[in-house]
Structure 1
Amino acid sequence: MDAKLFSDKPVGFSGVGLFLSLSIALSGASLWLDWSAGRSLGLGASLTAPLWVCTLATAALGYWAIPLLRQLKAGQVIREDGPQAHLKKAGTPTMGGIFFVPVGVAIALLWSGFASEVVAVSALTLSYAAIGWLDDWQILRRRSNKGISPKLKLALQIGFGGLFCLWLLWSQPFSITNLALPFGFSLPLGFLLFPLGWFALVAESNATNLTDGLDGLAAGTAAIALLGLGVLAAPTSPALMVFCACMSGSCLGFLSYNRNPASVFMGDTGSLALGGALAAVALLSNNLLGLLILSGIFFVETLSVIAQVSYYKATKDANGIGKRLLKMAPLHHHLELTGWSETQIVAWFYTIGGILAMLCLVLYPVFG
């Protein structure tokens, strides 16, 4: 593939342009969806208002939080075996999830009147943010790429995910175990839903974490997925719709600083929380299959890592050295090393995320 085909100059991608384009697209989509919801479902709740309140609140808080992170010397430690172009990002403040995640959660709780389902998904979201914070803090403290051990991180994710699934089993009607399928069909899973949901919570949080490797990539794709999931949740739970709109808005506000060139990274504090939030809402609103479609970007990124590791192990020679399927995993790094710029990769991933969200509206005709 000719790298000249993917230079920035002829295409004209920029971090500011991508941020503005995504902001306009999400605003237009939320306004249209609000009109459709009011017309067909009679919902009084809104996507647009919480989306923009959280966007502005997060952007305003960033003026204070990012300089504070710099003062605390919370600079990103860049992997030496990663793309060499990323070495210049060393020292950029990380752990940005500590200010944008609480904004979305707090406003969602207030906006929904502390609805029980919003309290539950907020608790799961903050729990996963705490796991990510612990990992980020250890990385910063040691000044290396190694945070808490992978086993401890996984154990904590499984533990909090298990508590959420137990709450589902105790508090929700058994009808929640009927998995919603496209065009109004459903699949009765019974108690199988709970181990499936448990897996989804851990897998989605790790998949979102893997996607957080380029400026604006995870924040923008998560904002799209959250807004789409909010639409799917709207008919059964307007409160969860508000939660998704708030978290989407927080991602958008964070993106005003995280777009290329980023002045702050979200760290595991943000990425694990976003994945947990997506899976928790999907479980509670019975939209796991819809989440799989909306999370297509995260899913492919995860598959690229699994394929890379599996192929390397399968092709090891007598010296213990294997072959690589990709130049580097996850997929966004492979594309980067083949000549794509960061902004081009992010632009295409945003576009694909938007297409997947529109596909969900076709497969799950929420509004008449």
Structure 2
Amino acid sequence: MLYYLFEYLDKLDFPGAGMFQFVMFRSAMAAIFSLLIGIFVGKKIISVLQRRQIGETIRNLDLEGQYSKRGTPTMGGVIVILSILASTLLFGKLENIYIILMLVSTVWLGTLGFADDYIKVFKKDKEGLKGKFKIVAQIGLGLIVGLTIYFSPEMVVRENTEIRVNNVIEEVTYKNEDVKTTSTTIPFVKNNNFDYKWLVRWMGDYADTAVWIVFILVVILIVTAVSNSANLTDGLDGLTSGSSAIIGVALGILAYVSGRVDFASYLNIMYIPGGDELMVFASAFVGACVGFLWYNAYPAQVFMGDTGSLTMGGIIGVFAVLIHKELLLPILCGVFFVEALSVIAQVAYFKFTKKKYGVGKRIFKMTPLHHHYQKPGDGSIDALIQKPFAPLAEPKIVSRFWLVGMILAVLALATLKMR
């Protein structure tokens, strides 16, 4: 909204009003404003949650310091959502289709997570919203995003073309026309565009239609997978919010370079007209995560609940799809995916060994993976992996996961030139 006000003031030659034309300036303001909302408004929200006794129900997992968290307010994800929405509405271009989709995704997933937390807290049902309803809602969002990309005339790209001399890239140029595409950036290869159409070439004349069906299915898979992975990661103070902030920084950089033809040309990636505006949203997202971390860092004064974790993961998934960088997510969201894979592997191995030997066995002492490091490796738990033998303190586990996330974020950015 402020963008349009200052655009009008700029026409009247109001001093400094032209600064709002620059994405970098508005992104910086969005990050600062979102951070301040998280800190100051967050304090008020936490007070309300405490007065209403909206506390977390703690299961007995036999973890050190577990019961000290009993009664800590939950549903703090509301702080993150409000910070993102307020900051983006103030500093973003609201007619930009990418911003619109991100706002819709934030509200959609925030509502889903809120419903889940509401059932857990107020209905006293620890299972929360049924899993099938969560999946249906996530599929619904995936359909909205995928179909919007397909039908919206504003969601186009200009594909990069290499000019080679003696097998050396001399120049990267772009076609004159904007096109719809199902191409995406793929890491570690010279020709770093992967088109989903290659998967359906065998369908001949039907390939052009089939590829969009495949693409929409991929979008649904990504939104669901990243959202649920972030949800599984949310188990230690500051782990999900800190990791999401790191990912958000990397996504903001990717959006900016993809929306600038000069940087896109240098990196030899697709140019996405209007995509740089997503940096404003990414900055608001990072500011909201850090603002929430002010209260969520160990020892946490508030938990985000599913209201926050489902929303954060879904935002990351949708954002990556919009800038055609979704195949970088296994690297960029490595922490989330390893947490999810640890649960999948644990359950699968337990069922396999129980069927084969009559007794279920474990790979890790406990999953998701972050809890594995909180358990002693003294043999009291029958697991293949016993290290570390001494349980680690919660802040150390979180800080090490953050460091791994930072390394993965740098690696994901580096893959644009590592070919």
Shorter chain as denominator, the TM-score bin is 0.7 to 0.9
Shift of 1:319: 9.5
Moved more, 53-62 or 245-254: 53-62
SS at match of 2:65: helix
Q: Of the candidates 337, 347, 356, which is equivalent to residue 309 of structure 1?
A: 347
Name structure 2 gaps, 5 residues minimum: 1-20, 157-178, 198-210, 260-274, 377-390
Aligned partners of 1:344, 1:61: CA distance in 2, in Å?
Answer: 29
Q: Contact 2:112–2:134 (CA<8 Å) still a contact in 1? A: yes
Aligned partners of 1:296, 1:364: CA distance in 2, in Å?
Answer: 17
Q: CA separation of 1:43/1:186 partners in 2, compared to 1, >3 Å: closer, same or farther?
A: farther
Q: Of the candidates 35, 41, 44, which is equivalent to residue 61 of structure 1?
A: 41
Residue 24 of structure 2: aligned partner: 45
Aligned partners of 2:63, 2:132: CA distance in 1, in Å?
Answer: 26
Q: Contact 1:118–1:240 (CA<8 Å) still a contact in 2? A: yes
Aligned partners of 1:167, 1:153: CA distance in 2, in Å?
Answer: 21
Q: Contact 1:105–1:247 (CA<8 Å) still a contact in 2? A: no
1:341-360 matched pairs, under 5 angstroms: 341-360=393-412
Shift of 1:223: 0.3
SS at match of 1:315: helix
SS at match of 2:374: helix
Any idea what the Cα deviations from partners look like across 1:277-330, whole Å, max 9, x if unmatched? 111111111010222221000010000000010011001158964111111100
Moved more, 262-271 or 239-248: 239-248
Residue 3 of structure 2: aligned partner: none
Moved more, 223-232 or 312-321: 312-321
Residue 233 of structure 1: aligned partner: 255
Q: Contact 1:79–1:145 (CA<8 Å) still a contact in 2? A: no
1:12-161 matched pairs, under 5 angstroms: 44-46=23-25, 47-81=27-61, 83=63, 85-114=65-94, 115-161=96-142
Residue 202 of structure 1: aligned partner: 224
Structure 1 length normalisation: TM-score?
Answer: 0.84
Shift of 1:79: 1.6
Q: Of the candidates 311, 314, 331, which is equivalent to residue 276 of structure 1?
A: 314
By relative contact order (CA 8 Å, sep 6+), the higher-ranking structure is: 1
Q: How many residues get paired? A: 325
Q: Of the candidates 338, 362, 368, which is equivalent to residue 330 of structure 1?
A: 368
Shift of 1:266: 0.4
Aligned Cα RMSD in Å?
2.0
Shift of 1:349: 0.8
Aligned partners of 1:181, 1:273: CA distance in 2, in Å?
Answer: 26
Residue 220 of structure 1: aligned partner: 242
Letter in structure 1 aligned against 2:41:
L
Q: Determine which structure has the larger helix proportion and give its number.
A: 1
Residue 166 (structure 2) pairs with residue 187 (structure 1)? no
Moved more, 225-234 or 85-94: 85-94
Letter in structure 2 aligned against 1:186:
N
Aligned partners of 2:397, 2:237: CA distance in 1, in Å?
Answer: 10
Q: Contact 2:346–2:362 (CA<8 Å) still a contact in 1? A: yes
Residue 261 of structure 1: aligned partner: 299
Q: Contact 2:238–2:298 (CA<8 Å) still a contact in 1? A: yes
Q: Contact 2:78–2:308 (CA<8 Å) still a contact in 1? A: yes
SS at match of 1:45: helix
Letter in structure 2 aligned against 1:352:
V
